[in-house]
Structure 1
Amino acid sequence: MGKAEARVRVALIDDHPIFRSGVRGLLGETAGIEVVGEASDGRHALNLVHRTRPDVVVMDITMTGMSGLAVARALREAGSTVHIVFLTVNEDLAFVDEALSAGAQGYVLKRSAGTSLLEAIEVVVSGGRYVDTEMRAAPSPPGRTEAGPPAPHPGEEGGLTVREREVLRLIAFGMTMKEVSLSMSISVASVDTYKIRGCKKLGLRSRASIVRYALGQGWLETENRRPSPDRPPSLM
């Protein structure tokens, strides 16, 4: 990014102040980039983006209160066209899929920030997508499609934990992430984590594939209506 170019306005969202300070220093010393604001959690991030109108949001995925994924979805639902680059320690390929589905254009590992973050910002501002080189090597399992894997055999649940199973079951019923959070008395960030882990174990990549799997397992036959988020389901 040369000095003659228009400055790229960046908002920085991360709940680790020391790490955020280091990234701010990196960006602040780069010609063509201006850090216009910072926030330490997801809820303040939404207000910050609305107030400062940045070109790019550099954001962690896992934060207290409201996850980066939830922030990205909320921004897209509000019609925001801000470019989103996730800067995270999560090296699970399932998180990359989830991040891009949530509306992000960039995915950079925190340990690569010094060498990759500036490139990622340049790529997304130019209209492209950037995924950390460390995350590009592993191919998708053979036979996987966007619709998900072949229908499972009843009773085979891919090593899911009780909470992973319950999150996916409630999502299959049509509940939103917030409703699942209220129903299970856990944070939305935890719901995101259980969903991502469960989907990775089962090779599921969309809500439709979750519903298809749930039908194959008979999860939707145990109740004839959508569970109420006011009554947390039993996890035993």
Structure 2
Amino acid sequence: MAKERVRVALIDDHPIFRSGVRGLLGETAGIEVVGEASDGRHALDLVLRTKPDVVIMDITMTGMSGLAVARALREVGSAVHIVFLTVNEDLAFVDEALTAGAQGYVLKRSAGTSLLEAIEAVVLGGQYVDAEMRAPPAPPDRTEAGPPAPHPGQEGGLTAREREVLRLIALGMTMKEVSLAMSISAASVDTYKIRGCKKLGLRSRASIVRFALGQGWLETENRRLSSERPPSLM
């Protein structure tokens, strides 16, 4: 590491996963975990109070998303290095994370091999994006043409079911997980997705994510879902 000791704050609403990350960091010479928080609102207070060198944070959390926390920290002038540790594997999230002020983006499933590299990279003043998220930008998708996307707060006539299906897809859930979370059949999930996408002119998961980010769907408090998968460090 570039410094003799790197002070880290850990923000994640999964206690078991947070414990695993704490154990990983605790076994690494030169790293000290100075505090933890389980949601975005407490994260702000923790970072401003403990002034860590690096904050490791999930994107999707109750109350206040990691993206909102990152923006708030930059607005108050915090220079903390931000590394997002997330299950979200859509490139649209990487762009949004870096724009919000993060320097690192690591997938939870590769944390065991990539997190320490990310911490070192950001402390040295660089950026780190998980190897699986470094694919070159795809050429413009000509199939994306469609009705103009509604402005924030205007949801293009979506029904409540269509909105919820698209929101959960934007959060990274599979069709099966959406089906379990909403207690509806997979066929119904597919129907609501198709109808919602047609109304909004969306043709891919990336476009759904971008729309959800623009609408602020990922900034609002999300209910804890029974189908939530326990993440793993490996």
TM-score by length of 2: 0.64
Aligned counterpart, 1:200: 206
Question: Which letter does structure 2 place at the counterpart of 1:140?
Answer: P
Aligned counterpart, 2:227: none
Aligned counterpart, 1:162: none
Contact 2:92 2:210 in 1 (8 A): no
TM-score by length of 1: 0.64
Residue 70 of structure 1: how far off its partner (Å): 0.4
SS of aligned partner of 2:55: strand
2-structure distance, mates of 1:73, 1:203: 18
2-structure distance, mates of 1:201, 1:44: 31
Contact 2:53 2:123 in 1 (8 A): yes
* Structure label with greater radius of gyration: 1
Residue 141 of structure 1: how far off its partner (Å): 2.7
2-structure distance, mates of 1:41, 1:83: 18
Q: Which has the higher contact order (CA 8 A, sep 6+)?
A: 2
1:140 to 128, 137, 142: 137
2-structure distance, mates of 1:21, 1:203: 29
Matches within 5 A, 1:184-223: 193=170, 200-201=206-207
Aligned counterpart, 1:219: none
After superposition, the C-alpha distances for 1:28-67 in whole angstroms (9 at most, x for unaligned) are 1100100000000000000000110000000000000100
Aligned counterpart, 2:35: 37
2-structure distance, mates of 1:113, 1:201: 27
1-structure distance, mates of 2:77, 2:95: 21
Question: Which letter does structure 2 place at the counterpart of 1:142?
Answer: P
Runs of 4+ in 1 over 4 A off after TM superposition: 202-205
Contact 2:103 2:127 in 1 (8 A): yes
Question: Which letter does structure 2 place at the counterpart of 1:51?
Answer: R
Matches within 5 A, 1:83-232: 83-137=81-135, 139-143=136-140, 156-157=146-147, 165=149, 168-170=150-152, 193=170, 200-201=206-207
Residue 203 of structure 1: how far off its partner (Å): 10
Question: Which letter does structure 1 place at the counterpart of 2:37?
Answer: A
After superposition, the C-alpha distances for 1:143-195 in whole angstroms (9 at most, x for unaligned) are 48xxxx9x95xxx238xxxxxx5xx51279xxxxxxxxxxxxx9xxx69x58x
Structure 2 unaligned regions, length at least 5: 155-162, 172-196, 215-234
Question: Which letter does structure 2 place at the counterpart of 1:25?
Answer: G
Question: Which letter does structure 2 place at the counterpart of 1:30?
Answer: T
After superposition, the C-alpha distances for 1:76-116 in whole angstroms (9 at most, x for unaligned) are 11111100000000001110000001000000000011000
Residue 140 of structure 1: how far off its partner (Å): 1.8
Cα-Cα RMSD: 3.2
Residue 200 of structure 1: how far off its partner (Å): 3.0
Residue 201 of structure 1: how far off its partner (Å): 1.7
The alignment-based identity, stated in percent, is 73
Aligned counterpart, 1:67: 65
Question: Which letter does structure 1 place at the counterpart of 2:50?
Answer: T
Aligned counterpart, 1:182: none
